[in-house]
Amino acid sequence: MGKIKKILISNRGEIAVRIIKTAKKLGIKTVALYSDPDREGLHVKLADEAWHLPGSTSAETYLDVPKILEACKALNVDAIHPGYGFLSENADFANKVREAGIIFIGPSAEAIETMGSKLAAKEAVSDFGGVPMVPGMEGAIDDIQEAKRTAKEIGFPVLIKASAGGGGKGMRVVENEEEFEEQMDRAISEATSAFGDGAVFVEKFIMNPKHIEIQILGDEHGNIIYLFERECSIQRRHQKVVEEAPSPVVDEVKRAAIGEAAVNVAKACGYYGAGTVEFIYDENGEFYFLEMNTRLQVEHPVTEEITGVDLVAEQINIAEGNAIPFKQEDLKINGHSIEIRVYAEDPLNNFLPDSGKLNQYTRPTGDGVRLDDGFEEGMEVTVFYDPMIAKLITHGKDRAEAIEKMNKAIDDYKIGGIATTLEFCRFALNHSDFRDGSFTTKFVEKYFSPELLKAANEDEQEIAALFAGYDFSQNKGQVLDIQNSESNWKNRL
Ligand code: ADP
């Protein structure tokens, strides 16, 4: 270890740009990687050097470990930042990087491995103690009768989950005993084909939950601190679209309790680096450990905005072997921050990914407005990678001001040539359930319909306000169907 002089970013798009910005600030040189379709990418323009990975698919390019290590050698790189997605949670990659004498900006391979398996994570965390767990099985299903007994004990509906699952995939809700076997068979075959690992387990299905997660930082000197919570309950297909910090429903006492539970999760796997501990939060305010993401999270900017901490700078500092330069009690929440994810997706057509040329692209600006993006006007959004174009983040003295700034920024943000989630996010922000904080992960299926969005687009807030509070679940049937079968998008976060 020691001072890092040159970082290769094994990623693309907005997160590569984001990492380059901090590296520049710290006087560290950067190397960008680019596939054929990313030749003109903003990250390529901003990095000091760039290395071509021939090909278009992720497997041919940003996932090709030997080619990435070759670039490091050729350009004399001393550290790799993996960003999120791609190789960021691949223990084997972390090992290979370190074996090549390069600093991996992330946790130990062991921590990645333990937390990459939902079952191994549950085991490590429950053995360590001090963390509320979702009631359910401790190991994978190997005896169906026993699994059914557990399901009956915890009470239907239950969730069958793939141990290797990720990106919202590999989950099945079982509403009663009669359908248990059928759903279990389906879950096993889905898990086997999607993740090459058929291990599934049963846990209680929490009705109308919120998704609340804690940002943590740990160093190699045994310090672990939490940087408060992020509220990420507005999701479509179990994927976040709107995030904020702090959560409108978490008070000081609860915040300290969840924060301490998150620190215990990190301790359970000897964690260092930046990480996120996810919890599911029920209607009574009880919270349970879901999983830990052993990397920088897409929604990390809202935490940066309310704490003033540059998380990428801290990741680099920790990777250099230094201690975290502040203590838990030094951290304070300043105001409120909201992030919306601008995906190339059509909310009017079941959020189906879109692609094409950005023939208009005007960025919003203003006090308390931050845009993390990787595109410019005239660039193509391709079908090869995750369709996220940008993250729009606002910071205000309180929640109302952050929302107000976001509404204005959405007005100013002009994207032409492609369908986006921008107007959907406006719809969510101005819904009465979002405003009063009562929204849950069921928000989209409960309240959203393309007709409503069309109407809102025609007459903006007026009509949206008229319909806000109308419960669309009445018309939609299958409220509990949380399957994601039509989406085969990889690397979703
Ligand atoms: P993944 O690794 O695929 O992201 P998670 O375990 O993080 O899976 O869960 C993703 C989302 O699925 C959560 O944010 C939540 O909306 C929902 N979910 C997960 N577990 C449960 C549960 N036990 N009850 C209800 N919803 C759940």
Domain containing residue 186: CATH number: 3.30.1490.20
Q: Is residue 111 part of a domain?
A: no
Q: Is residue 155 part of a domain?
A: yes
Distance of CA 483 to the CA centre of its chain: 18
The span from the CA of 39 to the CA of 53, in Å, is 10
Q: Is residue 81 part of a domain?
A: yes
Residues 184 and 230 in one domain: no
Of 165, 187, 204, which closes a domain? 204
Residues 29 and 139 in one domain: no
Closest CA to 262 of 419, 431, 121, 403: 121
Residues 198 and 308 in one domain: no
The confidence score (pLDDT) of residue 477 equals 27
Closest CA to 398 of 460, 309, 348, 333: 333
Query: Per the structure block, which two tokens stand in for 468?
Result: 């806000």
Residues 293 and 332 in one domain: yes
Q: Which of 203, 234, 280 to mutate to test the pocket of ligand 1 (most atoms within 8 A of CB)?
A: 280
- The 10s digit of each residue's pLDDT in 293-344 is 999 999 999 999 999 999 999 999 999 999 999 999 999 999 999 999 999 9
Distance 168 CA to ligand 1 centre (A): 7
Q: Is residue 224 part of a domain?
A: yes
The span from the CA of 312 to the CA of 394, in Å, is 19
Return phi, psi of residue 329, to 5°.
Answer: -70, -15
DSSP letters, 337-354, are EEEEEEESEEGGGTTEE-
| CATH number of the domain encompassing residue 20 | 3.40.50.20
Q: Which of 115, 238, 492 to mutate to test the pocket of ligand 1 (most atoms within 8 A of CB)?
A: 238
Total domain count for the chain?
Answer: 4
User: 64: helix, coil or strand?
Assistant: coil
Q: Is residue 1 part of a domain?
A: no
The span from the CA of 147 to the CA of 144, in Å, is 5
Report which secondary-structure segment, H or E, holds 268. Answer: helix 252-268
Query: Per the structure block, which two tokens stand in for 15?
Result: 């997160």
Distance 71 CA to ligand 1 centre (A): 37
The confidence score (pLDDT) of residue 455 equals 77
Report which secondary-structure segment, H or E, holds 282. Answer: none
Residues 411 and 359 in one domain: yes
Residues 151 and 192 in one domain: yes
Of 180, 204, 228, which closes a domain? 204
Residues 266 and 308 in one domain: yes
Closest CA to 122 of 194, 191, 204: 204
Residues 256 and 294 in one domain: yes
Q: What letter would DSSP give residue 324?
A: P
Ligand 1 atom with the smallest distance to the CA of 441 is: 16
The confidence score (pLDDT) of residue 474 equals 39
Which positions of the chain have pLDDT values less than 50?
461-467, 469-493
Ligand 1 cavity residues, CB under 6 Å = 134, 159, 165-169, 203-206, 209, 211, 235, 238, 278, 280, 290-291, 441
Distance 206 CA to ligand 1 centre (A): 9
Ligand 1 atom with the smallest distance to the CA of 203 is: 23
Distance of CA 288 to the CA centre of its chain: 18
Residues 75 and 149 in one domain: no
Return phi, psi of residue 258, to 5°.
Answer: -70, -40
3-state helix, strand, coil in the chain (%, to 5): 35, 25, 40
Ligand 1 atom with the smallest distance to the CA of 207 is: 25
Closest CA to 301 of 220, 389, 373: 373
Q: Is residue 152 part of a domain?
A: yes
Residues 285 and 359 in one domain: yes
Residue whose Cα lies nearest atom 14 of ligand 1: it is 211
The confidence score (pLDDT) of residue 410 equals 97
User: b/e string for 461-482 if b means 16 or more Cβ within 10 A?
Assistant: eeebeebbeeebeeeeeeeeeb
Closest CA to 280 of 214, 201, 187, 200: 214
Task: Mention every residue, 6+ apart, whose C-beta is less than 8 A from residue 252.
Answer: none
Q: Is residue 129 part of a domain?
A: no
Could you list the beta-strand ranges (E) of 120-271. Answer: 158-162, 171-174, 200-204, 210-218, 224-236, 239-245
Distance 18 CA to ligand 1 centre (A): 27
Q: Report the interhelical angle of 118-128 vs 109-116 (nearest 10°).
A: 110
List active site positions.
295
Residues 266 and 186 in one domain: no
DSSP letters, 116-145, are HSHHHHHHHHHHH-SS-B-SB-SS----HH
The confidence score (pLDDT) of residue 459 equals 55
How many Å from the N-terminal Cα to the C-terminal Cα in the chain?
30
Q: Is residue 409 part of a domain?
A: yes
The span from the CA of 37 to the CA of 401, in Å, is 39
Of 84, 105, 126, which closes a domain? 105
Task: List the domain range (segments joined by +) for residue 49.
Answer: 6-105
Residues 182 and 320 in one domain: no
